[in-house]
Structure 1
Amino acid sequence: MRLGIDWGGTKMEIIALGETGAEIYRKRVPTPRDDYRGCIETVADLITGAEAKTGQTGTIGLGIPGSISPGTGLVKNANSTWMNGMPLDKDLEARLGRPVRIENDANCLAVSEATDGAGAGAHLVHAIIIGTGCGSGIAIDGKAHRGANGIGGEWGAIPVPWMTADEFPGPESWTGHRGAIDRWCSGTGFQLDYQERAGVLLKGDEIMTRKRAGEPMAVAAYEAYVHRLARALAMSANLLDPDVFVLGGGMSNIDELYDDLPGAMMPYVFSDVYEVPIRKARHGDSSGVRGAAWLW
């Protein structure tokens, strides 16, 4: 049995997969925000509960919104900032008394979709999380590409390329940089852009309902979002030339994106022909936690 845990900013989820990848158990609980020790105890409780329910002992993989620094062994770049600077793998292994494999949550998404999802069989999968934040992971032959410094796929930290004059320098993100993909191409960025135009903060699906009804401000916010995300994807196309893009997170459920993004990308892709597919994550919002289980 493989156990996968997704440590998110608002929820923690555990999944148990059998040898064939079939789901045999799942549970989701709120994340103890700003409470590092509380989070470790929650992970331990989830594992204890899963193994008691299934009657099996599993390997443990954990996806986090950051990464373990190869230089210091401490968590870095996590937007769940209370885990930054902590020896998470060592603390968890000490608490559990067994080995744990930890990977960036976007890399877990990439591994999941490359294993038995929308990118199954592809050599290079670039998986994009467009949810509360916006990050990405890269899977090569089904394995996460972490990079020499553990920052492989940290695409969300880069400013949106080919920025227009009216966009520059862009809003500040949680990293302190301006115009970042994480800030503009996330679901949060879509909501804040609409709020700036219309003066009201709505959920993404509410904005899309207005867009489909033809409300000009919702149409403008959606078109700006598509153009920014397309430029960000085109940059990846020019650098990585992946076999497939896979979108996860709440914004990936907007069906119009899959029709609108390819054409919006084309002016920025350095090729006369570009036919790489953009697909919705097959396993939806459970893909990351499945990828954590597949780390073993």
Structure 2
Amino acid sequence: MDRFYWGVDLGGTKIECAVMSYLDDQCVLRKRIATEGNKGYEHVLHRIRLLIEQCAEEVGVYPDCVGFGTPGTLDPQTGLMKNCNSTSLNGKPLDKDLESILQTKVKLANDANCFALAEARLGIVPQVKPDAEVVFGIIMGTGVGSGLVVNGQLINGRHGIAGEWGHNVLEINGAPCYCGKSGCLETVISGKGLEAYYQSLANHAATLPEIVELAESGESYAQHTLTRLIEKFGLAVAQIINVIDPDVIVVGGGVGNIDALYEYGPKAIQRHLFNPVLDTQIVKPALGDSAGVFGAAMLVK
């Protein structure tokens, strides 16, 4: 049996590889290089091979299988990538092309799924609820992504989008979303959505950290923006709880760092719950930027 399991986080600006020990789940090597995605799909494949070869040289063994966290989804119906913000990947049989260039097996999952898997197995969930059966992981950053883990295993679904939360409509006739619909959750409670809403009130732009700071200083437009975030977050999360009844919801990303979500969010959720008591824990992640690459490695464990 191989001593290590391998994961790669394929991002728009960097590609990161982690080599993990089967013995104790410790990371024995972590290495990253620039993606150079502007040079095209084939170039990105060669960059991935370069990184794997460099890591293999350092640990003294080449992987039998590599897990990949990707900025999109491999559609099980077509075998092609979809919904990638790194657009050169869309429409490509990424798994087959990686197996060809790496000469090893690969497993792919969306980066939000990898986040959820890592936090469920290695991150915050074992700390707060070791016996958790159902975990929902959310990344609320520039966009909104999410993943569902049940009994330590990712749920992928027929179309590879199980757990996808960000493109449910939260506001009828709301702002247009890149997916083609309007009022998607992603347009409302993502970092970009919050910044756009603040600008519509204040008639000037501010970044999300600036909005949080302004709210803390008493600026009314910023306070209203965060109040709206909490109310919309409560409504959207309650729908998840009503359907899958998770033990833990892990909230990552820049928006997930806003403390008010955890102070006031539970009351906002409770107002929309079918169950009379909110017993699901809403927590911050423990792994930081390690979650994606660790989760990718766990795809092969």
- 2:140 aligns with one of 126, 130, 141: 130
Which residue of the other structure, out of 247, 270, 289, is the alignment partner of 1:285?
Answer: 289
Return the letter of the residue paired with 1:156. Answer: G
Q: Distance in 2 between matches of 1:16 and 1:246?
A: 24
Offset of residue 88 of structure 1: 0.3
Counterpart in the other structure of 2:247:
243
Q: Which residue of 1 aligns with 2:226?
A: 222
CA distance in 2, matches of 1:158, 1:200: 29
Residue 12 of structure 2 is matched in structure 1 by: 9
Corresponding position: 1:50 with 2:55: yes
Q: Deviations over 1:20-50 (max 9, x none)?
A: 1112222334433452222222222221222
Runs of 5+ unmatched residues, structure 1: none
Counterpart CA distance in 2 for 1:38 and 1:201 is: 37
* Residue identity matched to 1:3: W
Identity of aligned residues (%): 38
Q: 1:9 to 1:169 in 2, by over 3 A?
A: farther
Q: Which residue of 2 aligns with 1:88?
A: 94
After superposition, what is the alpha-carbon deviation per residue over 1:50-90, rounded to whole angstroms, capped at 9, x for unaligned?
22223333331101122111111111222333211110001
Contact persistence 1:252–1:280 (CA under 8 A) = yes
Q: Distance in 2 between matches of 1:216 and 1:266?
A: 25
Opposite residue 146 of structure 2, the aligned amino acid is S
Q: How many residues align?
A: 290
Over 3 Å counting, the alpha-carbon distance change for 1:225 and 1:10 in structure 2 is farther
Q: Distance in 2 between matches of 1:61 and 1:92?
A: 11
Partner of 2:156: 146
Does the 8 Å contact 2:18/2:294 carry over to 1?
yes
CA deviation digits over 1:227-259, x for unaligned, max 9? 112211111011111111001122222222111
Relative to the length of structure 1, the TM-score reads: 0.92
1:180 is matched with: 184
Cα distance change, pair 287–295 in 1 and its aligned pair in 2 (3 A): same
Q: Which secondary structure state, in structure 2, belongs to the residue aligned with residue 57 of structure 1?
A: coil
> How far 1:134 sits from its partner (Å)?
0.2
* Aligned-partner residue type, residue 10 of structure 2: W
For the residues of structure 1 that align with 2:173 and 2:184, how far apart are their CA atoms? Answer: 10
Asked if the contact 2:247/2:279 (under 8 Å) is kept, the reply is no
Equivalent residue letter for 2:32: R
Q: CA RMSD of the aligned region, Å?
A: 1.6
SS at match of 1:157: coil
Q: Write the mapping of 1:67-216 to structure 2, written as runs, cut at 5 A.
A: 67-120=73-126, 121=130, 122-160=132-170, 163=171, 168-216=172-220
Q: Using the alignment, how far apart are the partners of 1:14 and 1:199 within structure 2?
A: 43
**What is the letter of the counterpart of residue 141 of structure 2?**
G
Distance in 2 (alpha carbons) for counterparts of 1:198 and 1:12: 38
CA distance in 1: counterparts of 2:223 and 2:259, whole angstroms: 15
- CA–CA distance in structure 1, aligned partners of residues 145 and 135 of structure 2: 14
Assess if the C-alpha contact under 8 Å between 1:106 and 1:129 holds in 2: yes
**Inter-partner Cα distance in structure 1 for 2:234 and 2:48:** 37
Give me the whole-angstrom Cα distance separating, in 2, the residues matched to 1:53 and 1:197: 54
Q: Deviations over 1:123-170 (max 9, x none)?
A: 01000011121011000111110012211011111112xx4xxxx411
Which deviates further from its counterpart, 195-204 or 170-179? 195-204
Q: Is the 8 A contact 2:81 2:94 kept in 1?
A: yes
Tell me if structure 2 keeps the 8 A contact 1:248–1:285: no
- Normalising by the residue count of structure 2, what TM-score does the alignment of the two structures yield? 0.91
- Cα distance in 1, alignment partners of residues 213 and 186 from structure 2: 24
Which position in structure 2 is the counterpart of 1:18? Answer: 21
Q: Out of 54-63 and 70-79, give the one that drifted further.
A: 54-63
Shift of 1:198: 2.3
User: 1:137, 1:88 → 2: CA distance?
Assistant: 20
CA distance in 2, matches of 1:49, 1:201: 43
